């Protein structure tokens, strides 16, 4: 069983490795395929271009680590702060009131928006489980982008997922009023 402290020590020895801590196991994350990374960067770029000038919060990519709170303990169990998960969504948004000043460390909070992009080797079920964990812990919205099906699926706790395609517009009025993104803008262009 590894802890967040163990991940920090491991990261110091291997600064180029991207790591997550899931239920006491350290997971080494491999690089994304090119298309998935390009889609993630485009989503983050469009979101950050809206968020930053309005000072609404912070947008980060796949290397930003979030120390997650534990789910409610079972009867009488105590929460062991060292056994919490450390996860890194592909793109995340944190409202300004949650993080007024950036930190030079992992942050102990939940992003308000969690985005996962399916890479070539990912399994949809695993990504959905990760999004659901963030929602159960308190994230407002989770998004799964699937380049294979050209879909963007929006998840909210205790609601049916909403699947968007092509010229559908993603809006998040409960989180980012007036922001919108046309799904087809995420797909990488083809150059002549």
State the DSSP string of 121-143: T--HHHHHHHHHHHHHHT-SEEE
Closest among 17, 62, 26, 21 to 43, alpha carbons compared: 62
Confidence of residue 76 (pLDDT cuts 50, 70, 90): low
Give per-residue pLDDT as tens, 36-68. 999 999 999 999 999 999 999 999 998 899 999
- Summarize the confidence of residues 11-18 as an average pLDDT: 79
pLDDT at 181: 98
φ/ψ of 146, rounded to 5, equals: -115, 100
Q: What is the rounded end-to-end Cα distance, in angstroms, of the chain?
A: 52
- Summarize the confidence of residues 172-177 as an average pLDDT: 94
The answer to whether 115 touches 154, Cβ cutoff 8 Å, is: no
Architecture of domain 4-72+81-186: Alpha-Beta Complex (3.90)
Mean pLDDT of the chain: 90
pLDDT at 79: 54
Q: Is the pTM of this model over 0.85?
A: yes
Confidence of residue 130 (pLDDT cuts 50, 70, 90): very high
Closest among 44, 61, 57, 35 to 119, alpha carbons compared: 35
pLDDT at 117: 97
- Summarize the confidence of residues 108-112 as an average pLDDT: 96
Cβ-proximal residues to 13 (8 Å cutoff; 6+ apart), any chain = none
pLDDT at 167: 96
Confidence of residue 96 (pLDDT cuts 50, 70, 90): very high
Residue 149 has pLDDT above 90, yes or no: yes
């Amino acid at each position: 069983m590894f802890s967040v402290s163990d991940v920090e020590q491991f990261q110091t020895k291997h600064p180029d490795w991207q790591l997550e801590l899931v239920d006491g196991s350290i997971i080494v994350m491999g690089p994304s395929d090119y298309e998935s990374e390009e889609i993630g960067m485009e989503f983050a770029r469009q979101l950050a271009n809206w968020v930053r000038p309005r000072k609404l919060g912070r947008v980060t990519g796949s290397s930003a680590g979030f120390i997650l709170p534990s789910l409610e303990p079972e009867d009488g169990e105590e929460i062991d702060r060292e056994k919490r998960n450390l996860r890194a969504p592909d793109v995340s948004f944190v409202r300004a009131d949650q993080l007024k000043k950036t930190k030079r460390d992992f942050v102990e909070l939940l992003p308000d928006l969690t985005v996962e992009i399916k890479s070539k080797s990912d399994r949809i079920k695993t990504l959905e489980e990760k999004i659901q964990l963030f929602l159960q812990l308190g994230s407002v919205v989770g998004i799964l982008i699937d380049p294979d099906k050209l879909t963007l699926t929006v998840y909210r706790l205790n609601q049916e997922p909403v699947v968007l395609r092509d010229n559908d517009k993603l809006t998040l009025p409960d989180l980012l009023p007036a922001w919108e993104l046309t799904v087809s803008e995420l797909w990488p262009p083809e150059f002549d």
